[in-house]
C-alpha cells in the first residue's frame, strides 16, 4: 500500500499527521510507504519530512509538485507510488492507529474498487462553543458502524486500487482546489467515473478506518462556508455534464426538488421561529446559485469573480498542451 499526503504550507499539521502514520499498527505482511506531495510550500515542510524520514519504519519520501492544485498533487502522488492500493489522507487529519490496516482489510474481494473511512471532527474543548454547528457536518463522514456500499466518500480519508486509478485516469484537475479557489469534489467525480465503468466495481465504507479532522474557529468563517457551498454547486454542475443523457435528466430532477425544498425553507413562517442553523440555510441556497450559473454560462461565468480563476485557466491550458503532446 501507499499513503499519499498532499500539503502546502502546513508544516506543523503535517508533523502531527506523520506522527499518526508512524504510530500505525499493521500486520508484518503489510508492506507500505508514505509519500508527501509538497505543492509549493514555503515553510518548514521539507525539514519536517526529512526529520520523520530518518526515523520512519517504512519508506517516507517527498515529491515536489510545482503546479498548484490539489487534484494535480493527488495525481502526482499516486503515479509516483508503488502500492497496489493507494490511500489519501489530508494534511490536517490524524489517523487512528488501526486506520491503515482497516483500509487494507476491506479489500477482501476483487470487485472492491475503493474504500473510504470514517471522518470525525477534532476540536479543542476550549474552541467547541466557538464553532457553528453548520461546520460539523462539513467535516464529518459517518455512515454507521458496519461496512456498507456507498455512492461517494470523503476526500480527506479515502483509498483506491491502482488499476482503478489507471483505468479512470485519476482525479479531474479541472475540479481540484487551487489556493483560495474552492472548487473541489474531484473525489466524488472519480466515484462517478467508477460507477460509469459498469464492470461491477464497488465503493465500500470501512468504519474502523478513522481519521480525525482538525477544526479551528479562526479558519471557519461564515463567508468561507457560503463560498464553499457556492463552489460546491459549480462542481456538481461540472460533474453532471459528464453523465449519460438519461442519468443527467434524473440528476437535474433531483436537484430541482432540492432547490424547491431550500426555497421553501427560506420562506420559513415566523411562527416556527428561526432556523436551527441560518448559516447552513444560506450556504445551501448559494450552492444552487453556483449550480445554476455554471449550467447557464459555464465555469467562466460562475467563477468570474474568483481571484484564482486566471491561475486555474493557465493550469488547464498546461494540461491541454500536455495531452496534445
Give residue 295's pLDDT.
Answer: 82
- Report whether pLDDT(31) > 90: yes
pLDDT digits 0-9 by tens, 59-91: 999 999 988 889 999 999 999 999 999 999 999
What average pLDDT does the structure give for the chain? 83
Rounded Cα gap, residues 168 and 112, in angstroms: 15
CA-to-CA separations, 98 to 143, 264, 304, in angstroms, rounded: 18, 44, 44
Whether 262 shows a pLDDT value over 50: the answer reads: no
pLDDT tens for each residue of 179-223 = 667 777 899 999 999 988 877 899 999 999 999 999 887 667 777
Please provide residue 281's backbone torsions phi and psi, each rounded to the nearest 5 degrees: -65, -45
Lowest mean pLDDT among 140-144, 260-264, 284-288: 260-264
Confidence of residue 268 (pLDDT cuts 50, 70, 90): very low
Q: How far apart are CA 100 and CA 2, in angstroms?
A: 10
Annotated domain spans of the chain: 2-219, 223-307
Q: 91 and 17 in contact (C-beta within 8 Å)?
A: yes
pLDDT band at 322 (very low <50, low <70, confident <90, very high): low
According to CATH, what is the number of the domain 2-219?
3.90.550.10
More confident residue, 268 or 69: 69
Q: What is the pLDDT of residue 275?
A: 47
Considering the entire predicted model, what is its pTM?
0.82
What is the Cα 197 distance to its own chain's centre?
21
Amino acid at each position: 500500500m501507499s499513503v499519499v499526503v498532499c500539503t502546502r504550507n502546513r508544516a506543523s499539521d503535517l508533523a502531527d499527521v506523520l506522527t499518526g502514520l508512524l504510530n500505525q499498527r499493521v500486520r508484518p505482511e503489510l508492506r507500505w510507504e508514505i509519500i508527501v506531495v509538497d505543492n509549493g510550500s514555503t515553510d518548514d515542510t521539507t525539514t519536517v519530512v526529512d526529520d520523520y524520514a530518518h526515523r520512519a519504519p517504512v519508506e517516507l519520501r517527498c515529491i515536489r509538485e510545482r503546479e498548484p492544485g490539489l487534484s494535480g498533487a493527488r495525481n502526482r502522488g499516486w503515479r509516483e507510488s508503488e502500492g497496489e492500493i493507494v490511500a489519501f489522507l489530508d494534511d490536517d487529519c490524524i489517523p487512528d492507529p488501526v486506520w491503515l490496516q482497516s483500509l487494507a482489510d476491506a479489500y477482501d474481494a476483487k470487485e472492491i474498487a475503493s474504500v473510504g473511512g470514517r471522518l470525525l471532527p477534532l476540536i479543542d474543548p476550549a474552541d467547541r462553543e466557538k464553532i457553528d454547528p453548520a461546520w460539523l457536518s462539513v467535516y464529518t463522514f459517518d455512515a454507521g458502524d458496519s461496512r456498507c456500499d456507498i455512492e461517494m466518500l470523503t476526500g480527506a480519508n479515502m483509498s483506491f486500487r491502482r488499476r482503478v486509478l489507471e483505468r479512470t485516469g485519476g482525479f479531474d484537475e479541472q475540479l481540484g482546489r487551487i489556493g483560495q479557489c474552492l472548487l473541489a469534489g474531484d473525489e466524488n467525480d472519480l466515484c462517478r467515473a467508477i460507477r460509469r465503468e459498469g464492470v461491477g466495481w464497488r465503493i465500500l465504507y470501512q468504519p474502523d478506518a478513522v481519521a480525525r479532522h482538525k477544526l479551528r474557529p479562526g479558519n471557519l468563517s461564515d463567508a468561507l462556508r457560503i463560498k464553499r457551498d457556492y463552489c460546491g454547486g459549480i462542481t456538481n454542475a461540472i460533474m453532471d455534464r459528464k453523465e449519460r443523457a438519461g442519468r443527467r435528466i434524473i440528476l437535474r430532477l433531483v436537484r430541482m426538488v432540492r432547490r424547491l425544498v431550500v426555497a421553501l425553507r427560506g420562506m420559513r413562517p415566523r411562527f416556527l421561529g428561526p432556523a436551527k442553523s441560518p448559516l447552513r440555510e444560506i450556504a445551501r441556497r448559494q450552492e444552487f446559485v453556483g449550480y445554476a450559473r455554471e449550467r447557464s454560462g459555464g465555469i467562466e461565468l460562475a467563477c468570474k469573480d474568483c481571484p484564482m480563476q486566471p491561475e486555474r485557466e493557465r493550469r488547464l491550458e498546461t494540461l491541454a498542451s500536455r495531452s496534445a503532446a
